[in-house]
Structures are given as C-alpha cells and as structure tokens.
Structure 1
C-alpha cells in the first residue's frame, strides 16, 4: 500500500527546552496511571476517516470495533473511507470529522500550511514505504545508481531518492524517476522500471512474495532516510482541549484492539474481511503477521501508540533541509498525553 496522496542543524534552544519538559512529563507518567475504559450512558459518536481502503494497517481499529473495545469505552465509532485520499486531514481541521488516520509526513506538510491538527498516537510505528525490485536488478540501495525508479509522484518520495543517493555516494541525477501513480507493482511486472519506491513492504511486498516473484525489499530507513511513523491518529488541536477524554478513550480502545490482534491475528483478519469482503483472507493474515512488530514500540517500556519526539524532530529537520516545509515543525505536532497510562 502506498500513501495515496495518499525525515545538521539543531532545534532552537527554546524548542529544545519545551521538548525536554514534555519528555520528562511523559516519562514521569509512564505506567503511573491506570485507565478505566468502561463507561455508562449514551455512547459518544466518533467519526473516523481512514487514509485509504481497509487493509492490514488498520487491523487494530477494526479489532477494537469487533471485540467491543469501543463499546466498552462508551464510544460509537463510525469508520469512513475517504473519497479523496487527500481529504482526511482537511476534514479534521474543518471539524467535519473527529479523527483521521494519516501519515507523519502528510501531517507535517499539513501543519506547515497552517492546519491545526496533531498526532495523538502511532498506529504503525515504522516506515512501511520501501524500495522494491524484481529480477535482481536492485539488490542494495547503491544499485539504484543509473536505474529507472517508479514512484507515486509524491514530492517527499523524490526527496527520499536524493537522500538515498547521497547516503550511498552517487549523484541523485543518475536516477531516472518515473511517476507511475498507483501502478507500482504493474510497472515492475511489465519491466517499465527497475525498481519502485512507494509500495509497502507489508502489503505489496508480502503479496509479491506469496506470488513467488522473489522481490528484493529495502526499507527506506535502512537506506538512509530518517525513520518516521508511517500511520498516525490525527485530531484537531481544539478538539483535544474540549474532548480530550473522548480522544483518550478512543486511543486506549484501539490499543486493546492491537493487543487482541497480537494475541490472535485472525481477530484482525475476520474484522477486516467483514468490513471489506473484497479482501483476500490469506493475504490479509500474512500482511498482519508481517506488520505485527510495527504495531508496537520496539521498547516494551513504552505504551502502544508511543511517539518518539526525537525521531519526529529529526524527520522534521530532514523535511526542512529538503525544502518540503518552510519552517521547522513544532513540538505540538504530536502528543503522548492520550496513550494508556499517560495523562493526569
């Protein structure tokens, strides 16, 4: 799956002080708060807009719905698929949706344009975007030199290629980038390109392996691009002030869904297939199993959904250095306040 329109310099001292304070608060709260999700009364409605069609990346959300975690949290969650992949963040900013699933890069781009949105939890902790090649044409990132690479035409994907080239000591201009839109896999199968950058290792990569196409898959963060959180839960900044309790219950219910999927991936498969009968159950199961490590922080001391402020800072600096944003993203781009065990 690709984002269908759908990271040298230091941060200023004042920002560094704010980050340090936030980090200290977060660490002091870790494990100190026991959350009770069960509520009484009329469930509160939450309109959630996905980033794309239901797929393995959303397993925790659909599992929370199927296992009753949302209901136990006093929530009536309505899940919507966007008609326009660029719409979710705009809908949240305009108050026409309560929450959205989006990508860290897209969130930072939106904030740079003035949208008052913030990430309240990481749905997928690691980059899923990858370099994929068939037929042994590209076995390492250095092999991209002189090759034709298909992308979805997203600006930061071009910046990824330039960063990767520089990291491996060759001229970025030697790469011929071709915008193939959503047709990344067909472009490889037809040999129109030597490799692609944009397909997800846990979806297209798994599919190609199951088809015995023997893909070479290189994760972008292993090729020189700063790491980031591929999928995040986004809310409007004003909503966080007025409906913080509701947002907290949502995030913590999804955390329960993620744990249910980790315990039994079939829970996620059944819930997803029920939502979209066109999904292949076997492929969905394989994709969920491949994604499981990315659903949780690498450090078990942190709760589900944890967002690493230092990694966000590094990726934001990379975006600034590459001309993708006009100013350095502020610490208010994300908050861990609403995660299990966090808050006051």
Structure 2
C-alpha cells in the first residue's frame, strides 16, 4: 500500500515519558466490563493491513471487551496523528517514522502497540531492470514519492552497497509509483509495500523483484502502530489494554483463517478486490505478530526504536535527539506493572 503520510507543522506541549518497564499481568475478559465507546482512525482506506481489526469487530471481540468501536477513515492520510492529538479519535494508526517526526514537533502522542511489526516499504522492480539486489541499482532510475525519510532509505541503501549517489538517479513520481514502473519511466520504485503492491504485481504476472528495507541496510522498524495521546495513556490506559486484548483475539482468528478478517473487510469496503486482499493478508500474517513467541502481542522493541530514531537524527530527519517516550508496551496483553509515583504509566529510566 503506497502511503502518503505528510505531517504539517504541529506544536503542543510534551511531557517527558519513558519506555515501558513491563511486568506480567493476568488478563481476564471473562466478565464483560461496562460498554465504552472507542473511535479508531485508520491510516488509510480499509485494506489487508487492517484485517485483525475487522476480524475482532465482526467476531464481537471488541464488544466482549466492553468496547463499542467505531472505525473512521481519514479524508487525508496526513490527518490521523493530528486528529488523535486533538481528541477527535481515541486511537489512530500511523507509522513509526511519522510518530518520531510528530514527537520532534512536540505533538504529545505515543505508540501503544504495533499492528505490523516489520517494514512493509520496499524497492520494487520488474525483471527487465535486472535488479536482484542493492548493488544492481547502480546506473538505474529509482522513483520515489518525495517523502524525505524514504529518500534517506535510498541513500542508506546506496551507502551500504558502496554505490556513489551520483550513480543512481532518484526521480520524483509522486504517488504514481506502480504506473511509473509499468511504463518504464523508472527502473525501480521505493515506497510500495511488498505485501500489497508486490502482491498486486505478482497476481498480474509481472514477476516483481523486491528488496525489503531491513535487508538492505535500513534499521528495522514497525510499519504500522497504534497511537494515543499522553493524556489517554495516563487516564484511560485500561481502555487501551482492552482494545489490544480484543485485537489479539482478532489477529489469532485471522492467523487460523484469513477469511475471518478478509470477509468483514470486503463487506465494509465493497470496492476491494477480495482475491487481492486475501493474498495480501496471507503474505502479511508473519508480521502481524511479534518476532519472538515470548513477546506480548503488539510488542514494540525499545532497542529497535532507539536504533531507528538515532538513524533518523543522523540523517537530519529529526532536529532533536529521539525521545525515549515515543512508545509504551504497558498496555499490551499480559503486560503492566504499577507505575512509580513520579512517572506516567509506561515510564522507565531508559535513556
């Protein structure tokens, strides 16, 4: 899925928070708590990346958790972070790099759980370009959407492959990445998702070749994360916990039967191609869950976030050192110790 996350200038007060120091907690959803409304703002139009959400909604997992969930689709993909910060939504789906950029602009938001825990952004080419790996980008034209951190991805990949920047031409193609690839305006594009555009091209028998960011020198990151305001984290943490518990049930249902997420997804957005969505969900299944079985559902690795934030600063994408308060794992299923008296839920001394 080609995303268009472009943050406008935003300024709000930020209170210092820290990374989660989580202790195990017994979750109990056997008794339905009093019903509460929760508004979730998607990052983009409904698609395969959201299958666990639609499964949890259709199966009644949210209602059993005492949540009356309303899903909203943004009119502009730049809006979700701003809307959740303004209190227009309880939770929003965004991207780890966008969250770092928002915190750098003092927007008081933080990640509270991962939806997709690996990069989906990729370099996609067709066989005629003869690009089997990063080294083959030398002498090629690479189309990008003009998003600064994706241009930085390309430069990082070229540096690792020891390719002088002058030997690769970056071409701004806006959001016409796939059309530019098919028309051979460019040899490859950086910005399409391996689980969506890659699948779409494969289904069209175009035999795409894909280079994933984390395999080419870019620090790994969580492509899609749930975001809440600091105030919601402080005052409504139990709401987040119940949401993540119910979402875990939906994700497990999708893993057992992808149709559990695809059928309600297509019912909610009838212009979707069911075959494409089903293929995309099957491809995405491994990254709907943490890399290690010992990690709770929705886990965001603080060390990986620190490394990625440092990379952003080194590439002059952030004006300030990345804040350790950008995420908390406090409200994931089975997690949650008592915060100290001088900290917000999820705080620790992690620098």
Aligned length: 325
Structure 2 counterpart of 1:149: 142
Is 1:129 the equivalent of 2:137? no
Root-mean-square deviation (Å):
1.3
**Structure 1 residue ranges (4+ consecutive) displaced by more than 2 angstroms after TM superposition:** 37-42
Is 1:228 the equivalent of 2:221? yes
Runs of at least 5 residues in structure 2 that lack an aligned partner in the other structure: 7-17, 338-351
Structure 1 counterpart of 2:14: none
Is 1:245 the equivalent of 2:227? no
User: Is the CA contact (8 Å cut-off) linking 1:63 and 1:260 kept in structure 2?
Assistant: yes
User: Is the CA contact (8 Å cut-off) linking 1:38 and 1:74 kept in structure 2?
Assistant: no
Structure 2 counterpart of 1:313: 306
Distance 1:2 1:230 in 2: 12
User: Is the CA contact (8 Å cut-off) linking 1:160 and 1:225 kept in structure 2?
Assistant: yes
TM-score (norm 1): 0.92
Distance 2:331 2:155 in 1: 36
Residues 262-318 of structure 1: CA distance to partner in whole angstroms, max 9, x if unpaired? 011110110110110111111111100000000011111111100100000000000
1:318 aligned counterpart, secondary structure: helix
2:263 to 236, 260, 270: 270
Query: Superposition pairs for residues 15-164 of structure 1, below 5 Å?
Result: 22=20, 25-26=21-22, 29=23, 32-40=24-32, 42-137=34-129, 138-164=131-157
Is 1:203 the equivalent of 2:196? yes
Residues 47-94 of structure 1: CA distance to partner in whole angstroms, max 9, x if unpaired? 111000111111111111011010001111110110111010011111
Select between 324-333 and 80-89 the one with higher mean Cα deviation: 324-333
1:198 aligned counterpart, secondary structure: strand
User: Is the CA contact (8 Å cut-off) linking 2:33 and 2:65 kept in structure 1?
Assistant: no
Give the C-alpha shift of residue 39 in structure 1: 4.8
TM-score (norm 2): 0.90
Distance 1:91 1:328 in 2: 25
1:123 aligned counterpart, secondary structure: strand
1:288 aligned counterpart, secondary structure: helix
Is 1:336 the equivalent of 2:329? yes
Runs of at least 5 residues in structure 1 that lack an aligned partner in the other structure: 7-17
1:130 aligned counterpart, secondary structure: strand
User: Is the CA contact (8 Å cut-off) linking 1:161 and 1:172 kept in structure 2?
Assistant: no
Distance 1:38 1:243 in 2: 20
Distance 1:244 1:342 in 2: 12
Structure 2 counterpart of 1:3: 3
2:212 to 209, 212, 219: 219
Give the C-alpha shift of residue 331 in structure 1: 1.6
Distance 1:180 1:251 in 2: 37
Distance 1:170 1:67 in 2: 50
Query: Superposition pairs for residues 263-302 of structure 1, below 5 Å?
Result: 263-302=256-295
1:304 aligned counterpart, secondary structure: coil
1:252 aligned counterpart, secondary structure: helix
Query: Superposition pairs for residues 168-179 of structure 1, below 5 Å?
Result: 168-179=161-172
